[in-house]
Amino acid sequence: MASYFDFENADAFATGAIGRPGNRTFYVQVRADNRVISVKCEKGQVAAMAEYLRGMLADMPDTGSAVDNSTATLQSPVEQSFVLGSVGLGVDRPNMRMVVQLEEMVLVDEDEEEIFDLLDDDDEDVDASVVRVLLTPEQARAFCDTADLFVNAGRAICKWCSAPVDPAGHACPKFN
């Protein structure tokens, strides 16, 4: 069942990962008004959001406010609301806010529908949850800093082949 969540004054916009490096599950979490929405996502989606938010922050005036990174970490227990599909990012310049829209991934059975039906934007049969949140520059900076920590905290990278090194060992293809 699709849900629409609109957070104009979020208490927190957070990210984090659960599990061991190499087998982690990433989440983006929005908290406000005693509601917590946790969206399962990919590591690359978190990294891309942080990169784009940093670019948007570079184009905004610096408020000089302190960044509180504690609000950008996941709050337990993490209960998945949906799996992230597409992400929309924008700027509300008059209010000095970043707009983040997280849309649920919708799985379509290609055997039952023709490809032209998949491309039709007016399809009302698709139920997808959406989270829209307005972020202050401080919340966006805290999210970016936290995202960088979790994205870079993965497995070590092999200096010869640039592949992740598994804790159980690494058979580097450069030495075969």
Predicted confidence at residue 109, as pLDDT, reads 66
Q: Strand pairing partners for 16?
A: 27
CATH number of 4-114+125-175: 3.30.2450
pLDDT score for 21: 80
Residues 6+ apart with CB under 8 A from 131: 5, 7, 30, 37, 39, 81, 101, 102
Q: Is the peptide bond preceding residue 77 cis, with omega within 30 degrees of 0?
A: yes
**Angle, vertex CA 14, rays to CA 140 and CA 93, nearest 5:** 25
| Res. 114: pLDDT tops 60 | no
Phi, psi of 17 (to 5 degrees): -135, 145
Pairwise pLDDT comparison (67 vs 125), residue with the higher score: 67
Give the torsion through C-alpha atoms of 114, 124, 45, 144, to 10 deg: 160
User: Whats the size of the chain, residue-wise?
Assistant: 176
pLDDT of residue 118: 47
Closest CA to 8 of 145, 146, 147, 131: 131
pLDDT bucket at 169, cuts 50 / 70 / 90: confident
> DSSP labels for the chain?
---EEEESS-SEEEEEEESSTTS-EEEEEEEETTEEEEEEE-HHHHHHHHHHHHHHHHTS----PPP-GGGGBPPSS--EEEEEEEEEEEEEGGGTEEEEEEEE-----TTTS-HHHHT-TT-TT----EEEEEE-HHHHHHHHHHHHHHHHTSPPBPTTT-PBPBTTB---GGG-
For 3-32, how does the pLDDT look when each residue is reduced to its tens digit (9 = 90+)?
899 999 999 999 999 998 878 999 999 999
For the stretch 55-112, pLDDT in tens is 999 988 777 676 677 778 888 899 999 999 999 999 998 989 999 999 999 877 666 5
Average pLDDT, the chain: 85
pLDDT bracket for residue 35 (50, 70, 90): very high
pTM for the predicted model, two decimal places: 0.80
Written as six digits, the tokens of 69 are 């990174």
The per-residue pLDDT for 11 is 92
Share of the chain above pLDDT 90, in %: 52
* Residue of higher predicted confidence among 166 and 118: 166
